[in-house]
């Protein structure tokens, strides 16, 4: 049986961008760089093209996609904005913020998991912005990986996971932020909710809106029921190697364990060294830690350890540490509300 060829990685030249824009208009899939993680894009107004995303990823139809826009003017073409949404959009777009709003009829049910709402954002990555403009269509794009696995932050990560399932990958360098966008539910602007933490912190949202933005604390999702937004499943962003999440890891605990178990810290540990010791940022800078999180999980996973022990990030209760710990908690599949 002949294997499908591996996806081609395209440099971001004007000719390549024009070629990929034509492919998207034809209903093909293109993996694209964003400032958060790489996404798998299709024309958001083409239901058949969007169903190809679900097939390529092995993603359940109950998990909606995020629609990416080139300009604020496009927002009213796919969603019904309100004053609170426009305030956040003008403050944080282009950038890593997704808004959930009532959808327009132009958006296929395949994009929204059959719900009357749609998740939208305006990315800041310059190559994706040029591609969006050339394409002339909003693009639906979840992370460009097999469903539930570690998100990709480089073009090579995409090719490793989806290389024989798609044809086109746009090279845009390593993702600058490294974790997925913040998601805010603004279907009722009087009751905003933080659905998924990200680089735009809860405290920033509250300052911008002038009201409290409580965070959703999801339990296990109901089987067969559509999620209001992506990234809400209890198990997600997971390497093949089992992950154990710790509030704090002591040097004594590490020394008692065999070398076939890996240890991952936010900052470089002072008293520990070895082939099974890893960290996200030498000084524990949270932006650096977020940027390196998925890359490091992939690196450790490839080394075939029996288990990965990870220490939680420490930081402000409404800051970036919350987003890092959210990803770690889902990677370890620790139920929310349960101590770890």
pLDDT at residue 218, rounded to an integer: 53
pLDDT 10s digits, 113-131: 999 999 999 999 999 999 9
Q: Please give the pLDDT value at position 3.
A: 65
Q: Is the pTM of this model over 0.85?
A: yes
pLDDT at 340: 47
Q: What does the pLDDT read at residue 339? A: 46
Average pLDDT, rounded, for the chain: 93
92: pLDDT strictly greater than 80? yes
**Dihedral sign, Cα of residue 288, residue 290, residue 291, residue 296:** positive
Residue 202 pLDDT greater than 70, yes or no:
yes
- CA dihedral over 253, 256, 261, 266, signed as positive or negative: positive
Confidence of residue 185 (pLDDT cuts 50, 70, 90): very high
Angle at 57 between CA 147 and CA 30, to 5 degrees: 130
What pLDDT score does 2 carry? 55
Could you give the C-alpha distances from 22 to 17, 31, 54, 126, 169, in angstroms and in order?
A: 9, 14, 21, 18, 14
Q: Which residue has the higher pLDDT, 333 or 179?
A: 179
pLDDT surpassing 50 at residue 81: yes
Count other C-beta atoms under 10 Å from residue 130's C-beta: 17
Q: Is the CB of residue 294 less than 8 Å from the CB of residue 144? A: no
Look at residue 226 and tell me whether its pLDDT is greater than 90.
no
Task: Report the candidate in 299, 328, 324, 300 with the shortest Cα–Cα distance to residue 314.
Answer: 324
Work out the percent of the chain whose per-residue pLDDT is above 90.
84
Please say whether the dihedral angle defined by the alpha carbons of residues 204, 207, 210 and 213, taken in this order, is positive or negative.
positive
Half-sphere exposure of 107 (CA within 13 A, CB side): 30
**CATH class entry, domain 8-209:** alpha beta
pLDDT tens column, 133-163: 999 999 999 999 999 899 999 999 999 999 9
Q: Name the burial class of residue 161, with classes exposed (0-12), middle (13-18) and buried (19+) by CB atoms within 10 angstroms of its CB.
A: buried
On the question of pLDDT at 296 being above 50, the answer is: yes
Q: Is residue 304 predicted with pLDDT exceeding 80? A: yes
Query: Is 70 exceeded by the pLDDT of residue 308?
Result: yes
The residue ranges of every structural domain in the chain are 8-209, 243-332
Helix (H) or strand (E) holding 14: helix 14-25
Which H or E element spans position 308? strand 307-311
Instruction: Give residue 1's pLDDT.
Output: 47
pLDDT (average), residues 20-45: 98
Please give the pLDDT value at position 139: 98
């Amino acid at each position: 049986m002949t294997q499908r060829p591996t996806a081609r990685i395209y440099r971001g030249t004007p000719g390549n961008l024009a070629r990929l824009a034509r492919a998207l208009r034809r209903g093909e899939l293109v993996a694209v760089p964003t400032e958060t993680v790489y996404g798998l894009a299709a024309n958001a107004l083409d239901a058949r093209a969007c169903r190809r995303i679900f097939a390529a990823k092995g993603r359940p139809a109950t998990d909606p996609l995020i629609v990416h826009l080139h300009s604020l003017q496009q927002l009213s073409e796919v969603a019904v904005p309100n004053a609170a949404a426009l305030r956040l959009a003008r403050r944080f777009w282009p950038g890593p913020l997704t808004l959930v709003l009532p959808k327009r009829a132009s958006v296929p049910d395949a994009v929204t998991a059959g719900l009357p709402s749609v998740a939208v954002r305006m990315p800041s990555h310059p190559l994706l912005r040029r591609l969006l403009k050339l394409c002339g269509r909003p693009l639906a794009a979840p992370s460009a990986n097999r469903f539930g696995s570690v998100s990709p932050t480089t073009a090579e990560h995409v090719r490793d996971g989806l290389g024989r399932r798609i044809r086109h990958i746009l090279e845009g360098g390593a993702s600058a932020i490294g974790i997925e966008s913040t998601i805010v539910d603004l279907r009722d602007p009087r009751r905003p909710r933080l659905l998924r933490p990200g680089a735009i912190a809860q405290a920033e949202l509250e300052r911008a809106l002038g009201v409290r933005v409580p965070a959703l604390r999801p339990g296990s999702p109901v089987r067969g029921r559509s999620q209001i937004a992506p990234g809400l499943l209890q198990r997600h962003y997971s390497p093949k190697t089992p992950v154990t999440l710790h509030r704090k890891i002591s040097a004594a605990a590490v020394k008692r364990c065999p070398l076939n178990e890996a240890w991952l810290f936010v900052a470089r540990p002072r008293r520990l060294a070895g082939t099974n010791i890893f960290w996200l940022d030498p000084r524990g800078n949270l932006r650096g830690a977020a940027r390196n999180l998925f890359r490091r999980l992939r690196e450790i996973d490839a080394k075939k350890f029996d288990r990965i022990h990870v220490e939680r990030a420490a930081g402000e209760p409404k800051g970036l540490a919350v987003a890092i710990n959210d990803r770690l908690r889902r990677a370890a599949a620790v139920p929310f509300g349960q101590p770890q």
